[in-house]
A and B are shown apart, each in its own frame.
Chain A
Amino acid sequence: MLSLLLVLLPGALAQAQLVSPATPANCQVPSWSTDGNQLAWEVNFHDRKVVELYVSPGYPGAAPRRIVPVSRGSSAMTAGFDVAGSETVAHELSWAPAALKRFVYGSSGSTQDYDLYIEGGGPVAAAPGADGTAAWSPDGKWIVFTSARTGQGDLYLIDVAAVEKPPLKLTGDPTASELFAAWSPDSQKIAFVGHTQKGDNLYLIDNVAFPAPRPVTAWEHTQTRPTWSPDGTMIAFFSNHNDINRFDLYVTPVAGTPTLVATDVALNDDGPAWTPDSKHLVYVKKDEANFDPVYAAPVRQPSQARVVATGTVGNGDLDVVKRPDGKVWLAVVAQGLKNDKVRDFKRVYAMVLSGLP
């Protein structure tokens, strides 16, 4: 019996465990907190055009809590005090550094105007015009976000220590929209996507104090979802400039030429997922025959990419973090386990990531 157990346990640990409860809708965009103590995800009710946001401890059986924005009338006194109803969108969560124990997210609230909310508080930097894709700086001092308040989408900066003040405008190209901003680990640089009629390319602000964006890519079609390596030396992103019908995974040094890591990958909503040591990128390979498996590729030797045995099928968005137990964990949305008899909606699974190439 004991030897049988010893054979079974490693396999059990290598298979992802279900962490989200059953819902009649697809889960998407799993996102670990910076310290790995919490896991957030969205539940997308396509039919009702509602997106719900949940946060949980990230372990099987742990009950998640739903995040609902609270809208308080302040100077508009007769608007009074209001709790957002069930028919709202809450999405695009970005975690603050662990010490702050907060996150920022976007929501349509009760007014159907997309604003940013910091957990537990009312709208931040609210103004007519949609706000979204917020990113909290690693040093906790700033939140960068995209806003349509003065145009078609410009980057703005919120001073976390003065949330009551108007945000600072970072970019204002009248011919482009700036979105998907990503902070470098030292909180000095911002990579973002500049969207124009000619296509989407990556840009870099080398110093937030003196924002002067410079292009990182100048390709056709779409280059999107930049994410920084934890050591701050590289930026990974998706691109379909080779083939408009598929997205490939690229990595570029901050000052250098992008190199291809993998082709035909699923577009991860939060951008490519780095391992904490900056050596690997974890992604979903679009391979219907093999149920869209999860891969891990060494950035320096992408040809050595290997399948991560999650035991799940129909994989989608994913995220990677180092948790308090010292292990690297993967969270991935999937339509179920290989042996599941019923696979309907995508759920969130988590597992220890080990045996990387």
Chain B
Amino acid sequence: MIPLGLLLAVPAAHAAPDAPDDPAGGSVRHHVAQARQFVKNKWYDDAALEIAAALAAPGGADSFDAHWLGAQIYYEVVQADRALVLAERAALLAPNAETREQATTFATFLRSTFGYVALTAPQAGMTSRLQLECTSIVFDADLKRLINKLALQLREPTALPRTLALPDGEYLVNGVKVVVRADTTTPLALEMRQLGARGLAALQVTRLEVAAGTSVLFGDDVDNLRTGGAFELALTLPVGPVLLGALGTFDLRSYAAGGNEFVSDPYAWGAGLRVGRELALGGPLALRPSLGVRYGLVPGIGYACDEADGALSCTPLSAAAGPGEVEIYAVGRAITPFAELSLEYREAGRTTALGVGVKAVVEQHVGTVASPGEAVLFETPDGTPLPYVATPASWTATGIRLLANVSFAF
């Protein structure tokens, strides 16, 4: 029996003549030689790329060396389906009876040993970390090593659907039992709870979030604003490694006006975007830090005004020497960058998931009021508007929002 190492040194009689060695051009012979070098260093993934290049090169389809070495490389990287195709082709291309027997025996071994699991997720394109565990005894040390190797590979985010080649036996994939039989493909549809509720899987689906809580603003320019209710509606979409969110907010604002008068104002809308990462804490718990920016309205920005030449000249209440002849409370417009930390507990069903959690948001409002603008008297809202000029028109405030959150993933 000729050791295969020597066999590969024998020119393949049936192979098409290779193009002259040209590393830049990439002949079959060059790629096969490079693959062998990678194999010696146990860089099997790189070797697989070289074999793919060899097979794609002119003459590669008829190269015994490329097919035979490729079959063994793909076996080593646990792609038995690909290895089988190459081994069968190698048997056809074999230059002599001995190598033909070797290739045929290897192909028979692959066909009689490996079966396939066709993994699918509720949505095509989902990625998940997979836990693979062999629950039957594997008596072959080499096959056991390949299973362990594949299990390590699958711990990295894996795009689904995907077909796994596994030796005949019983396995758990993310806790779901699957029986693999040689030369047979077994479908396995992983549900949402098997992808995200436990273990290392990170859930990546579109989510609708509804949150409610309180909001408070701090700052000299908003000293008269009271703590109010806060509501938020958001849509979060996974894009690669991050979560993009679009959100709309509404706050129930009230503020002190003219001393002890309290006024509620509905003009407290906002809209914005955020980007964050989801960190699975273990089991169904997930932490999501995010950064975002919002554009919104903040009513009740107070100014002390004095009449001059038929118009009101106004300064911020916090900077005014006195209350002024009149006070106006303008609706401010603000760009609000914010940082958010969300903690969520998610219960996944078959194709959807429901989550509950809390959010804490710290934000900085950088706003202005309309100036020049027009104001109406509080007592006569239908009266003649009075023009005013606010100096300065800008204001700032720091805000904190604490919200309870319910999310629905689909």
Interface residues, chain A, CB within 8 Å of chain B? 70, 72-75, 77-85, 100, 102, 110, 118-126, 160-164
In contact, B72 and A75 (Cβ under 8 angstroms): no
Q: How far is the CA of A85 from the CA of B1 in the complex (A)?
A: 7
In contact, A163 and B138 (Cβ under 8 angstroms): yes
Q: How far is the CA of A125 from the CA of B139 in the complex (A)?
A: 11
In contact, A120 and B139 (Cβ under 8 angstroms): yes
A50 smallest CB distance to B (angstroms) = 15
Place the interface of chain B in its size category.
20 to 34
- Which of B8, B44, B102, B140 touches A122 (beta carbons < 8 Å)? B140
B299 smallest CB distance to A (angstroms) = 69
Which chain B residues border A83 with CB–CB below 8 Å?
1, 101-102, 105
- Which of B3, B143, B145 touches A79 (beta carbons < 8 Å)? B3
Task: Answer yes or no: B350 CB below 8 A from chain A CBs.
Answer: no
Which chain A residues border B141 with CB–CB below 8 Å?
121-126, 163-164
Task: Answer yes or no: B262 CB below 8 A from chain A CBs.
Answer: no
Which chain A residues border B106 with CB–CB below 8 Å?
81
Q: How far is the CA of A122 from the CA of B143 in the complex (A)?
A: 9
A86 smallest CB distance to B (angstroms) = 10
Q: How far is the CA of A123 from the CA of B145 in the complex (A)?
A: 13
Q: How far is the CA of A191 from the CA of B273 in the complex (A)?
A: 74
Q: How far is the CA of A100 from the CA of B137 in the complex (A)?
A: 9
In contact, B148 and A160 (Cβ under 8 angstroms): no
In contact, B4 and A82 (Cβ under 8 angstroms): yes
In contact, A78 and B140 (Cβ under 8 angstroms): no
Task: Answer yes or no: B7 CB below 8 A from chain A CBs.
Answer: yes
Interface residues, chain B, CB within 8 Å of chain A? 1, 3-5, 7-8, 36, 39-40, 42, 44, 47, 68-69, 72-73, 76, 101-102, 105-106, 109, 137-145, 148
Apart from A81-B109, A83-B102, A161-B137, what are 16 other A-B pairs with CB-CB below 8 Å? A74-B142, A77-B39, A77-B76, A78-B39, A79-B3, A80-B4, A81-B72, A81-B106, A82-B3, A82-B4, A100-B137, A120-B140, A121-B139, A126-B141, A160-B137, A163-B139
Which chain A residues border B109 with CB–CB below 8 Å?
70, 72, 81
In contact, B36 and A78 (Cβ under 8 angstroms): yes
Which chain B residues border A79 with CB–CB below 8 Å?
3-5
Which chain A residues border B73 with CB–CB below 8 Å?
77
B101 smallest CB distance to A (angstroms) = 7
Per CB-CB distance, the 3 closest pairs between chain A and chain B, nearest first, are A80-B4, A121-B140, A164-B144
Which chain B residues border A100 with CB–CB below 8 Å?
137
Offer 29 A-B interface pairs, CB within 8 angstroms, sorted by A: A70-B109, A72-B109, A72-B142, A74-B145, A75-B76, A77-B39, A77-B47, A77-B72, A78-B4, A78-B5, A78-B40, A80-B3, A80-B5, A80-B8, A80-B68, A80-B102, A82-B3, A82-B102, A83-B105, A85-B1, A118-B140, A119-B139, A121-B142, A122-B140, A124-B139, A160-B137, A162-B144, A164-B144, A164-B148
Which chain B residues border A163 with CB–CB below 8 Å?
138-141, 144
Q: Which residue of B lies closest to A102 (CB)?
A: B139
Q: Which residue of A lies closest to B113 (CB)?
A: A120
Q: Which residue of A lies closest to B4 (CB)?
A: A80
- Which of A74, A123, A126 touches B76 (beta carbons < 8 Å)? A74
Which chain B residues border A78 with CB–CB below 8 Å?
4-5, 8, 36, 39-40
Q: How far is the CA of A84 from the CA of B1 in the complex (A)?
A: 8
- Which of B42, B47, B143 touches A75 (beta carbons < 8 Å)? B42
Which chain A residues border B1 with CB–CB below 8 Å?
82-85, 110
B142 smallest CB distance to A (angstroms) = 5
- Using known A-B contacts A100-B137, A120-B139, A161-B137, determine if residue A81 contacts B4 with beta carbons closer than 8 Å: yes
A94 smallest CB distance to B (angstroms) = 13
A97 smallest CB distance to B (angstroms) = 12
Which of A72, A81, A82, A162 is packed against the most chain B CB atoms within 10 Å? A81
In contact, B42 and A121 (Cβ under 8 angstroms): no
Which chain B residues border A85 with CB–CB below 8 Å?
1
